[in-house]
Each structure stands twice: as structure tokens, then as C-alpha cells.
Structure 1
Amino acid sequence: MIELWHAGFVPRPIADVAANPPTADEIVWLPPQGGFRFAADPFGIKRDEGLTLFAETWDYRVKRGEIHYFQYDNDNRLVTSGPALIEPFHLSYPFLIEEGGELYMLPEAHKSGVLTLYRCERFPDRWVPVKTLLDLPAIDATVVRHDGRWWMFYALPGAERRAMRELHVAWADDLRGPWRQHAANPVRAGLETSRPGGTPFVQDGKLHLPMQDCAATYGAAINLLRIDTLTPERFCATPVGRLTAGEWLDGYTDGFHTLSGHDDVTFIDVKRLHRSAAEPFIKLQFKLRKALGKR
């Protein structure tokens, strides 16, 4: 059994989608990625010429995520796509940040051992590393400017599903740091609301975080976490909502683990659990590539 994800977007703001989940006919889905491949963790940005979505692309024959872009025109038609960022290590969760007239990406790259900020040198396909923000293998780092500071929410790898059951926080006065660890880390524990799953947003005057519910399975649903208190010393939050995949895409009802947004567009992904007689052959291809050094 393998997991297959499918990403898409909804032409409504994230706070609106969180309060009123989309219907199937509202969602624009990325094209299929091919057998035993998928695109997940979508983030995006709108510009005059249209919408660009960035996502992790994964091939079970390679088992190393890459960041690819998908560009749509203003009529939601796919215009072009291609690689945006590829490293020797796994990449996913291409979180985007606009600051000081620059566009940055903060992809998950915990296999590298650190968390690296990339600046867009040529949109959308040239990104250069500019700063190591944390000397930690942070997972799904999610950044927001709130109450005069930069805040980062992230998970850490470890035994007993640590990456799904502990929420850590860091803060800084400047995006490039120095970043300081929250005094109460880990600020939250439990499989339902500890792993970040998208873009923070403000609703009813309160900051909300999309969080992955990993209790039953990895990325089963998105739980919304309302931040009640956030200082360098204190953290208090309350779960206030839950979104599941529903019947958005035929067969993809087994998970939903990214809710991100920019301007008046929201990005989502859904999961299906898939079993195929070809799985042993796909696994053999991966082992052969590894033996030949083709990672």
C-alpha cells in the first residue's frame, strides 16, 4: 500500500475556505503526474500574469522529493510547468515568504540537517540559498510576521512519531535571524494538532494555524489551531475546526494535509491509499537506481 497525493487550488481566500469548505466543482486540480508519482504540499503566489503553484513532486522509483512549479493563466489554464528547486537531499513543503521586495522559499529539507532560506533569483525556476535559519532538521517550517515579530512553527524528527506529535516554536526580530527557541518548547504535544500544515491566517482578529491530524494516519485531515497567547515565554492555543477531504476528488478521500493561501487563492492536497500489483516492480526499480548510484 502506498500513498498518492493530488494538489489543486480554490479561487477563494484561505480564511473563507477554512470557514466554508469548497465544493468539488470549485477546485482546479493539477494534471496527473503519472504512475507512482504525485504532487503534494502546494503553496503559491499570484502575479499579474496569473498564478504559480509550487509543490513537492515525488516518484516512488527515486524516493527523493523535488520542488516543481505549475503556472496558470488568469483563466485557470495550465500554461507551463517544470523544476523549481532540486537538491541532493529530499525537499518538500515549499513555504513562500514575501519580505522587503524579495520572494523567499523555506522548503522542508530535514535530511540536510538544517533549515535553509532560499531567495528567488529568477522567477519561478532559480532559487539560491541565502541563510541557514536553524541548525536543526526542522520539518514543515511555517513562518508568519505577527505582533511585530517573526514566528516559526515546526516539527522535529525522532522516534515514536515525534515529527507528528510535537510542535516547536522559534522567534526573531528579522526574517534572517537570529532565531531564538521558545522558552516552552515543545509548546504542544499530541498527534492531532502538532505538525504544521499550511499558511497561518487571521480570522476574527486571531491568528490561526492549519495543523495536520496524524492520529489515525499521516495527514488524515487539517485541524485549525487558534493562537490565544504567543510571546517568547508563553504559548496557548485552542483547536477550533476540522477539514477533511470529503468527496472533492474521486478516490482521494484518505487524507488532506495542506491548506495554504495567497491573496484570493487557497491551495489544498488530498490523499488516496493505493495498492497495485506493480508495487514490487517499482520497489525493484528504486533498489536498482540506488545500487547504481542514480539517486
Structure 2
Amino acid sequence: MNWEAALSTSPEHKSGQKSAPAAPLRIGIVRRQGQPFENWELQLIERLLADRRFHLVAFLNASKRAGENQAGMLTRMVAQLDGALFARQSDYGAKRFERARGTILTIPLDNVVEDGDRNRLQLDLILRHFDVKLPDPVLRNLPRGVWSLSHVYTQWGSASWDGIADMSAGAPTSQLSLFLETARQPERRVIAQAEFNVKFSAARNAAFIKEKSVLLLMRELRRIAETRKLPVPRKAPDAVQALSPPGVFKTGRYAAALAKNIAQRALKTVRRAAHQETTVWTLFSGRGAIDDFDPSEAIEIPPTDTAIKADPFLFHHEGRTYLFYENYALGDERAHIAVGEITRSGFEPIGIALGGTEHLSFPFVFREGDEIFLMPETHQRKRIEIWRAVSFPLIWEPYSRAFEGWSTADSTLFKHRGQWWLFTNLSEHHAFEDHCSALYAFQVDGPALKRVVPHRRNPIVVGSATARNAGRIFSRHRRLYRPAQYNAHGIYGYGLNIMEIEQLDMDEYRETCVRRILPDFKPGLTGCHHFDASGSRYILDARLNA
């Protein structure tokens, strides 16, 4: 589901007056001649065709030339086998493309330099989907330059070696870059980047990043369509590393690591099926706030076999400090929302706040006026739900819902300069449903969720190193902070980021990581992925060694 098709940004933005739409950007796509369209390309084409800001004019077909980047035979064999085993996916149904296919020109790239074709095309920019040098006359006639994604340079045929080098080197994340080249500055420059948690397979890693790269590319294309300004490069040309194919040593090292990963996954699957393996989280609480807490000094609230606690939220009410959390037992496949009280002597369970047949987590509890609300993650119900307290803390009634049919997770509401905002991790996907890769922002009318307006730069954060929410948004000393998960080293919830939100309005979003908490503040931990605070007390969760 495309969020832009369901929710459109209001044209009366800022001034309240409708502005005349700019002429659509005329786009050409360079592809390899005879190569079938990949799913990520079809997703991109569908979005371009659905957006009136763009006009997909032509496919410019190129042939592979001698001397270009080629991977060795061993690398090709490993990548092709890896892809056949772990990166297969169903075909993407590109309905708009099928209807519009006859209106999109298909031209050999070399022919574009001829005066007739150049004048007929009049392209604003080219998207390079194939690693081939563009003729200088083509580049000179592109006011918005040539755009390319980094995975384009790690591809031959239907196989990709993207991720093999990262995994053989034990890199914590894989990086996706969006490059720009212009006639005035023909060197490849980075204009946007994202980091993604590594998968157990390089082929799966590459397929996943390709799908998510559409989000990054479309966001930047929408930006230039609205502003008509080229992005400012994030790195100097000489800082852009060449994406060379891995050699025999790296490929062999990766093949050995892949065999080990497959064996470990098979063992985990067997153990989970026998209810012999459950992820166990524990809680740590102490005194401090989001900008100064020290997790090494925290006191543990340990789990039990029937009460494994995660996603903790604190709530101060009538002089008492309540703790809401995701609760499950060893062997459980779903969790419910439980609540307890933190007292001077420790922690006292109270009971179940919300249950049901679906998995519930992330019990974001907040106050508005005289009423108390609870917004848990209800991903399995494919919507966002808000509940209102009838008899706090155990009895709740449905209050509002939104995003019906959408795959959302870890949503949070907050006020900033008098305006309500909803941040949620929405998964727009075909083959890879994932809630760690993209953060979306919406202006809303408060807990009623009757008015929902998407941010102009959605998704405002791309990449599993910082995108997923890890608790509520905090305003402290006139600074805005967002806890975010650091998903890396192949581990969900490996670490915790403290992001400072530097700009938040309907035109832009900017944040910076001011602190990163790794699972080394206590012995025996393998992850930490959630933070909350109330008054002078904070709490976070951490994953225990299996």
C-alpha cells in the first residue's frame, strides 16, 4: 500500500493558498539492454507513474562494454547460488506500468546524442540502473544530472555481489548511497545515505536493500520536484569509495560464514518449533533523564519464566509510578500488555491491562488533559489503536483507530510547538515486511486521529540503524529527543540511539545521534532497544544471553 495514495499532503500548506503545480520532472532510466525488470525497478516505476510531479519519458538501453566492472567466476557462482536459495520473491504486479508501457519510449543510449532524439526527449534527469558511462552530450543536457543508487554498481545479470564484502568483514551494517553526477561536477557525489542491519545471507541483504532503496530515492526525487534545487552533497567526491567486486579470499570467507549462518538458523528453527528457545529481555531502572542517564548504575527488574518484560513505559499518576510493559512467558508466541507499580521496595505486578488473540507490545501510555490514553503496537491487526482509561490502570475502552490495513509498529504521539505529531514505523513492502527501515511523520489532531496529514519528506528517516522508535519523544531543556533502535550485527535491537531532533516542520526533518548505548553496560547482555523516563526515574530493557 502506498501511503501517498491514501493520504495526500494538503496543497494549502503554510499560506492557505493553493499554489500552481510545477511542470513535472521529465525522467529517463538507463538500463541494460535485454535485462528483465527487477522488482525494485517495477516498484519505482509504479510510484513515478502514480505521482503527477514526474513524467517517465524513456528507457535508455545500453550494452555492456569491455573493461567494465566484472566479478570473478567464484564470486558470480556464490552470488547466484545464494540468490537462488535466499533471495527469491514473487513477481511484483506493476499494473500502472503495464497500462502505460506503450507511451514510454525505448531508445538505445547511443542514439540519445543525436539532435532529434535529444530535442524530443528534453530530460530533466536520468536514473542510472546500469553501470555504464553516459556520453558527454547526454550529461550536458540534464539540468538535474544523473542519479544512481550504490547497488547498481554491484550487479551483473541477475546476480549481485552487494553485501559479500560487508559480511566477510563482519561489518555491523550495510550502507546504501544515492549518488549525483552533473556536467559541471561529473565526479560521483553522495546526496543521501542509509544504513541497514546485515542479513544472514548477502543475496537476501542485497534484495532487501534494493526494495528499501526505492523509499530513499523517491523521497529525494519528491524533494527536488518541489524545491527545484539540487541536493547538497554529503561527501566530497574523493571520499566516495570505489565499489569493487570482492576477490577470491573475501568470497571464500563469506561462503564459510554463510554455511555457518544456515546451520545456526536451522538449529534455531528446530528449537523454536519445540518451544525450547525464547528471546528473554530484562529491565533496568535508575535515576536520571534521557540526556544524562547512566545505565551502568541501573538496578535490574529481572524476568521470570511467566513474566518476561520488554518495551517498558513509565507513567506517574496520583503520586505512584506505574510500569506498563509487553509481557510473555517462556514458549509464548504472542504477548499482552501488563502493568505493575515501582515502589520503594521494588516492583509489584498489578495485572493485565490489555490482552487478546493477537500479539501486543510497545504500550505507549500518555495523558491529554484529564484523560489517560494507551496506544499499543497492534501490528497484527493492521492498524493503529488508541484506548482510553475507564478505571486506571486495568480497565480501558477503545477510543480511536487509524491507518486501517497499514503495517505499522512502535507508534508515538507528542506535541511540539502546539502541534500534535504522530511518528510511526510503517512498512511499505512487497517481499520484505520490515518495521526497522523507515520512520514516517504525520501531523494529527491529537488522540482522536481524525485528521492525518503526511510529512512532505516521508519517510523522514530511512535505515535500520536509526529509523525505528525506541520509546516516547522527550522535550527537555528546550531540546527534543527521540530514542531510536540501533539494529546492527544481524541483531534486532542491538543498541539504543538517543537522537536529537534539530528541525521538525512540514517541510523538513533533521536529527542527529548524540549518544549510542551498546549492550556492554552490564555483563551477560546481547542487546538493548527501548528507553522511557518519568520524573526523575528512567527505565530501559536489555536482551539476555541465550
Counterpart check, 1:183 vs 2:459 = no
State the partner residue of 2:314: 44
Contact 1:15 1:202 in 2 (8 A): no
Alpha-carbon contact 2:408-2:435 (below 8 Å) kept: no
Post-superposition Cα deviations, 1:15-53, rounded to whole Å, max 9, x if no partner, equal 331xxx2334x42x3342217x52100001123453210
Shift >6 Å, 4+ stretches: none
Match for residue 240 of structure 1? 514
What percent identity do the matched residue pairs reach?
Answer: 26
Query: How is 1:246-261 mapped onto 2 (pairs within 5 angstroms)?
Result: 246-248=520-522, 250-251=523-524, 253-261=525-533
Higher relative contact order (CA 8 A, sep 6+): 1
* 1:194 partnered with 2:467: yes
Distance 2:358 2:419 in 1: 31
**Counterpart pick for 2:301 among 30, 34, 51:** 30
Q: Which amino acid aligns with 1:51?
A: T
Do 2:400 and 2:447's aligned partners in 1 also have CA atoms closer than 8 Å?
no
Cα drift, residue 161 of structure 1:
6.0
Structure 1 counterpart of 2:342, one-letter code: Y
CA deviation vs aligned residue, 1:172-215 (integer Å, no higher than 9, x gap): 13331212221221111111100000121234532110100112
Q: How many residues align?
A: 265
Q: Normalising by the residue count of structure 1, what TM-score does the alignment of the two structures yield?
A: 0.83
Q: How does 1:129-208 map to 2 (within 5 A)?
A: 129-135=398-404, 136-157=406-427, 158=429, 159-160=431-432, 162-177=434-449, 178-208=451-481
Displacement of 1:89 in angstroms is 1.0
- How many angstroms apart in 2 are the aligned matches of 1:11 and 1:85? 28
Equivalent residue, structure 2, for 1:12? 288
- Structure number with the higher strand fraction is 1
Conserved in 1, the CA contact under 8 Å of 2:386 and 2:447? no
Runs of at least 5 residues in structure 1 that lack an aligned partner in the other structure: 275-295
Aligned counterparts of 2:308 and 2:532: Cα–Cα separation in 1? 18
- Structure 2 unpaired stretches of 5+: 1-267, 269-277
Look up the match of 2:366. Answer: 97
**1:15 partner amino acid:** D
1:150 positional shift: 1.0
Q: Secondary structure at the match of 1:142?
A: strand
Q: TM-score, normalised by structure 2?
A: 0.46
Per-residue CA deviations over 1:86-121 (Å, capped at 9, x if unaligned) read: 022110000011101111011001100110001111
- SS of the residue 1:111 aligns to: helix
In the alignment, the residues of structure 2 paired with residue 212 and residue 14 of structure 1 have an alpha-carbon distance, to the nearest angstrom, of 14
1:223 and 2:223 are equivalent in the alignment: no
Which deviates the most, 133-142 or 186-195? 133-142
What is the rounded CA distance, in whole Å, between the counterparts of 1:190 and 1:232 in structure 2?
Answer: 21
Q: Distance in 1 between matches of 2:349 and 2:329?
A: 20
More helix per residue: 1 or 2? 2
On the 8 A contact 1:200/1:209 being kept in 2, the answer is: yes
Bigger radius of gyration: 2
Q: Distance in 2 between matches of 1:8 and 1:81?
A: 19
CA contact (8 A) 1:15 1:201 kept: no
Q: Residues 72 and 227 of structure 1: is their aligned pair in 2 closer, same or farther, counting only changes over 3 Å?
A: closer
Change (3 A) 1:14 1:240: closer
Q: Give the structure 1 partner of residue 539 of structure 2.
A: 267
Check 1:80–1:11 CA distance in 2 against 1; reply closer, same or farther (3 A cut): same
User: Does the Cα contact within 8 Å between 1:68 and 1:82 map onto a contact in 2?
Assistant: yes
